[in-house]
Amino acid sequence: MRMNKRDKLTEFNRSNILEAAKALFEANGVVATTMDDIAKKADYSKSTIYVYFKSKDEIYNYIIYESMVLLKDRFKAATEEHASFEDIYFSICGILVSFQQEYPLYFDSILKEISVDEKDFDNYPVLRDIYLIGEEINAVISAMFCKGMESGYLRADLKPIPTIFTLWASLCGIIRMAEQKEKYFQEKLQLSKQEYLDYSFRLLLQAMKAGE
């Protein structure tokens, strides 16, 4: 479906506002950034910003949604590129590490509560989009787990959905720890950040594997 001139202008302005907000959020943090700051950075009046977005929170949620779409696309590509569960698993671990390095501000959003309230969805449709893309990501990972269990690589007693959330929490915690304790690992343990990540990812995988 081709966009008319008005739709193109709307998309252009929204994109400019989001890019300006993203730069400010990453430089100064979300709390310290105001709608006045975003308007100035985007070179629009504050009233124009409110034509396209209800609030700073809505702008932030749109950016979260975009980052989650990117993450889903990368996960899906990994499942299509690799055949074995182990190869897909380590590819996804690497994708999450890269995502944290590229988008540290939005990395923590992966584990934040996602609204499932229809009233919230009615007021802020982007929250529905975030919920749905989160479900799509879970579906990609769930399919990976089901395939791993069917092949006998993973333990047969694993419950895919609870396991997915445990995996999210574990992987994100490992990546945060590697980032925060990098100097300690190097100086006290003679362990590089990558060595710590590799060891921890493999340890987690061993807990899910079927017995030899």
Which residues contact residue 155 at a Cβ distance below 8 angstroms, ignoring those fewer than 6 apart? 149, 208, 209, 210, 211
Q: How does the average pLDDT of the chain come out, rounded? A: 91
Length of the chain measured in residues: 212
DSSP state of 2: -
Q: What is the pLDDT of residue 212?
A: 58
Query: Is the pLDDT confidence value at 119 over 90?
Result: no
- Confidence at 71, pLDDT banded by 50, 70, 90: very high
Which residues contact residue 91 at a Cβ distance below 8 angstroms, ignoring those fewer than 6 apart? 78, 81, 82
Q: What is the pLDDT of residue 22?
A: 94
Given a contact cutoff of 8 angstroms between Cβ atoms, the answer to whether 93 and 201 are in contact is: yes
Query: Is the pLDDT confidence value at 114 over 90?
Result: no
Which residues contact residue 179 at a Cβ distance below 8 angstroms, ignoring those fewer than 6 apart? 100, 193
SS3 at position 205: helix
Q: Cβ–Cβ contacts within 10 Å for residue 83, how many?
A: 11
Which residues contact residue 69 at a Cβ distance below 8 angstroms, ignoring those fewer than 6 apart? 133
Please name the fold of domain 1-53.
Arc Repressor Mutant, subunit A (1.10.10)
pTM for this model (two decimals) = 0.90
**Domain pair 1-53 / 55-208, same fold:** no
Please write the tens of the pLDDT for every residue from 25-54: 999 999 999 999 999 999 999 999 999 999
Please write the tens of the pLDDT for every residue from 120-152: 888 889 999 999 999 999 999 999 999 999 999
- Confidence at 1, pLDDT banded by 50, 70, 90: low
Please name the fold of domain 55-208.
Tetracycline Repressor; domain 2 (1.10.357)
Distances (CA, A) of 66 to 73, 74, 147: 11, 13, 28
> What does 9-45 look like in DSSP terms, one character per residue?
HHHHHHHHHHHHHHHHHHHH-TTT--HHHHHHHHTS-
The domains of the chain are located at 1-53, 55-208
Angle 160-180/182-189 helices, nearest 10 degrees?
70
Given a contact cutoff of 8 angstroms between Cβ atoms, the answer to whether 79 and 144 are in contact is: yes
CA distance 126 to 61: 7
Residue 63, burial from CB neighbour count under 10 angstroms (0-12, 13-18, 19+): buried
- CA 80 from chain centre, in angstroms, equals 19
- Confidence at 187, pLDDT banded by 50, 70, 90: very high
